[in-house]
């Protein structure tokens, strides 16, 4: 059992798959992604809408792309997590498959369907059948480095997805934004890595407060990628059920559920460093009600990143660290994902 979150020797015994190492490299992967070269896609068609399709960790990368770039893209963009594609998807859709392994059956099926509907297609990932199909049918494919678990490849997948969108001309040059965010994340990593003692490490504090509780994450609707990623990281790394909801909507329904004492749950409010006055008011009002009706003092996450992408990936990195520290407190190796492996195996077998 772990004696303290500052005991690096004990941590390395629990962290047999070295998830901490993968999270430490998250900012570096983003800096590397800033050096991807846009592809020469030779598409004369300008898409009328964009679908980013993927599952799990890869879909989280698509969510971040959407939150980051949707203000800069003039056509509707959606993230789809299903092989059944919406009715509007057709020849004027840019369909980008996002799959780290390139072996996810839902993503391969959706990609196949997108080709049948004559979409403009593209893909990003580290290889697998998706890459093989793309090279056979000459679909642009942007390759990231292999050998990670998909959730640890988020920053690379965001970088590759953004550069692919740039290649199709739907967004301008993204690489300065990747680099700037990468540098901000390097600074944030310096405050949160395991070598930084509990007395100065906010991610360790948050993990300790969450021990034995169900994390309930709240953030602004425009940062939903961050909240969903955190919920998934608590599941996959800490092996804990967590949930999330979005503001201001949660103030109109879920806040009611905090009435009375709920000692088994703890709210985590994830802030943006550039909240508008209206948004800060929403947070203040929500927090005040939690305190009043739920007698609970929420945890708050702020990272101080200031670039558009850093303001999303800063909190993602912070909560990634929290999820592994919580795993260590529970004596759990964050890397293996037996349940996901079984689901993937059975889902493939049962389709045959």
**Identity of the residue, 143 or 222, whose beta carbon is nearer to ligand PA5 in the bound complex:** 143
Which of 31, 120, 122, 151 binds ligand PA5 (CB under 6 A)? It is 151
Would you say how long the chain is, in residues?
352
**Identity of the residue, 167 or 337, whose beta carbon is nearer to ligand PA5 in the bound complex:** 337
Window 52-81: residues binding ligand PA5 (CB under 6 A) = 54-58
User: What is the spatial distance between Cα 121 and Cα 218, in angstroms, rounded to a whole number?
Assistant: 34
Contact between 294 and ligand PA5 by CB under 6 A: the answer reads: no
Residue 115: phi and psi, rounded to 5, are -70, -40
Calculate the alpha carbon distances from 341 to 53, 97, 203, 348 in Å. Answer: 20, 21, 29, 11
For residue 248, cis peptide bond before it (omega within 30 degrees of 0):
yes
**Identity of the residue, 80 or 250, whose beta carbon is nearer to ligand PA5 in the bound complex:** 80
**Identity of the residue, 90 or 128, whose beta carbon is nearer to ligand PA5 in the bound complex:** 128
Window 16-55: residues binding ligand PA5 (CB under 6 A) = 54-55
Residue whose CB is nearest to ligand PA5 in the complex, by number: 56
Calculate the alpha carbon distances from 319 to 74, 105, 125, 314 in Å. Answer: 31, 29, 24, 9
Q: Print the binding letters for residues 179-218 with ligand PA5: x by CB under 6 A, - otherwise.
A: ----------------------------------------
Calculate the alpha carbon distances from 220 to 225, 250, 270 in Å. Answer: 10, 10, 8
Which of 93, 104, 121, 201 binds ligand PA5 (CB under 6 A)? It is 104
Shortest distance, position 330 Cβ to ligand PA5, whole Å: 19
Q: 77 with 103: CB under 8 angstroms?
A: no
User: What is the spatial distance between Cα 61 and Cα 179, in angstroms, rounded to a whole number?
Assistant: 17
Contact between 318 and ligand PA5 by CB under 6 A: the answer reads: no
Give contact residues for ligand PA5 (rule: CB under 6 A).
54-58, 99-101, 104, 107, 149-151, 236, 337, 340
């Amino acid at each position: 059992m772990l004696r303290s979150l500052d005991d690096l020797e004990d941590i390395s015994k629990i962290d047999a798959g070295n998830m901490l190492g993968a999270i430490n490299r998250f900012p570096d992967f983003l800096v590397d992604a800033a050096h991807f070269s846009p592809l020469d896609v030779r598409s004369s068609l300008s898409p009328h809408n964009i679908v980013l399709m993927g599952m799990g960790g890869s879909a989280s990368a698509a969510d971040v792309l959407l939150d980051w770039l949707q203000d800069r893209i003039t056509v509707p963009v959606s993230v789809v997590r299903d092989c059944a594609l919406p009715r509007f998807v057709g020849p004027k859709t840019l369909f980008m498959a996002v799959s780290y392994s390139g072996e996810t059956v839902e993503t391969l099926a959706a990609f196949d369907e997108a080709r049948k509907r004559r979409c403009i297609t593209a893909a990003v990932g580290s290889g697998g059948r998706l890459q093989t199909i793309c090279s056979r049918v000459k679909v642009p494919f942007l390759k990231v480095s292999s050998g990670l678990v998909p959730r640890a490849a988020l920053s690379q997948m965001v970088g590759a997805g953004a550069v692919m969108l740039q290649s199709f001309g739907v967004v301008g040059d993204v690489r300065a934004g990747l680099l700037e965010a990468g540098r901000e994340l390097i600074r944030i990593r310096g405050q949160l890595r395991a070598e930084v003692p509990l007395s100065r490490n906010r991610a360790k504090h948050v993990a300790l407060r969450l021990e034995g509780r169900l994390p309930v994450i709240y953030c602004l609707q425009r940062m939903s990628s961050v909240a969903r990623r955190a919920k998934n990281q608590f599941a996959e790394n800490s092996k804990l059920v967590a949930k999330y909801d979005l503001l201001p909507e949660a103030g109109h329904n879920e806040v009611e559920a905090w009435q009375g004492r709920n000692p088994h749950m703890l709210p985590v409010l994830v802030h943006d460093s550039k909240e508008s006055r209206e948004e800060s008011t929403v947070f203040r009002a929500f927090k005040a009600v939690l305190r009043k009706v739920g007698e609970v003092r929420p945890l708050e996450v702020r990272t101080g990143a200031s670039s558009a992408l850093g303001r999303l990936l800063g909190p993602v990195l912070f909560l990634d660290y929290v999820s592994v520290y919580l795993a260590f407190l529970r004596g759990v190796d964050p890397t293996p994902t037996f349940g996901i492996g079984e689901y993937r195996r059975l889902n493939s077998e049962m389709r045959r």
